[in-house]
Chains A and B, each alone.
Chain A
Amino acid sequence: MELTSTDRALVAAIQNGLPLTPRPYADIGQCIGLGEEEVISALRRMLDGGIIKRLGIVVRHHELGYRANAMVVWDLPDDGIDEIGRRFSGFDFVTLCYRRPRRPPRWPYNLFCMVHGRERPAVLAQVDRLAQSCGVTDAPREVLFSTRRFKQRGPVYAPGPAIEAVS
């Protein structure tokens, strides 16, 4: 979908988030000369069109007690990877699942999924469950736990979208 100039003004107005007020859409509208209904319908259109993935919150998983943050990478056959990716993404402990290019010879992995848990052993057991669920226990894989977080935030640029974490 194409963004209208109204959409762009709205995106810019809420790039740092929605107002924490009882009528947030009316308050945004007042800043950019739109009515409450116009703001709601423009946001609805951008949600339906996939420009906005969702409206809500981003939490810092670490602060919620999810101290074990693993990026699990797999070297899977290209012809079966879609089915496996879909199955992995159905597990509630998998928070993100992407197919990415291999970078041979040093990086043979083509499926990435994030598994967050409170403790490392639990995360490793969940990774085993994933492998067993798809019969890929023999496929090469590695579990990369994060050891430090340097940055976690949306990017800063105008008209500044915040994006979902992809790592």
Chain B
Amino acid sequence: MTDGTNGGTEPALDPVIDDRDRAIINGLQGGFPLTETPFAVVAEDLDLHEDEVIDRVAAMLNAGVITRFGPMYHAERMGGGLTLAAMKVPDVDFEAVAAIVNALPEVAHNYARDHDFNMWFVIATESAERIPEVIAEIEAATGLAVFDMPKIEEFYIGLRFEA
């Protein structure tokens, strides 16, 4: 499992998950019960044992199939800042710029995309005021413009992948 701080591409994982794992993923994406024994509730819905659900979630976390198990916060309502930023990075500089951007703890996701705007990353900060500072730091360190594209409106859907 990667620590998420490497500047290069994350290692390609090829974890093996089976039908029970898929059922657990699909069951948990809708939410985790707020009851005293939540794993037992999930297990009963899936016709599995509580221990097996716990063990399989742990194994999938270790394998990197699941990257997080717990609450997803609404960053802005926590007082934090959140934005999507894009850069046009010359191919020859791409690795060096990626290393600079990925090294910042405020950068939560970073994807290369096939477009003139070829680097897209999420900046998440503890305070909203910190967003422009991080953007300025990236621009100063790379000499490239960062295009800030914060959300104006979210059309809500749960993030859901059928496993």
Contact = CB atoms under 8 A, between A and B. Distances in A.
Given A25-B36, A52-B73, A163-B75, A88 B66 contact: no
B111 A148 contact: yes
Contacts of A88: 155
Given A22-B54, A59-B66, A52 B71 contact: yes
Given A55-B34, A150-B102, A150-B112, 16 more contacts: A11-B78, A16-B70, A25-B38, A53-B74, A58-B66, A58-B67, A95-B159, A99-B155, A148-B9, A148-B111, A149-B109, A150-B9, A150-B110, A152-B109, A155-B106, A166-B122
Interface of B: 4, 7-10, 13, 15, 17, 25, 28-32, 34-40, 50, 54, 57-58, 61, 63-75, 77-78, 80, 82, 84, 86, 98, 101-102, 105-117, 120-122, 124-126, 147, 149-161, 163
A152 B35 CA distance: 30
B121 A63 contact: no
A158 B150 CA distance: 22
A43 interface: yes
Contacts of B124: 154-155, 157, 161, 163
The majority secondary structure among interface residues of chain A is: mixed
Nearest to B75: A163
Interface residues of A, number: 82
A57 interface: yes
Nearest to A7: B78
Interface string A101-131: 1010011000010001000000000000000
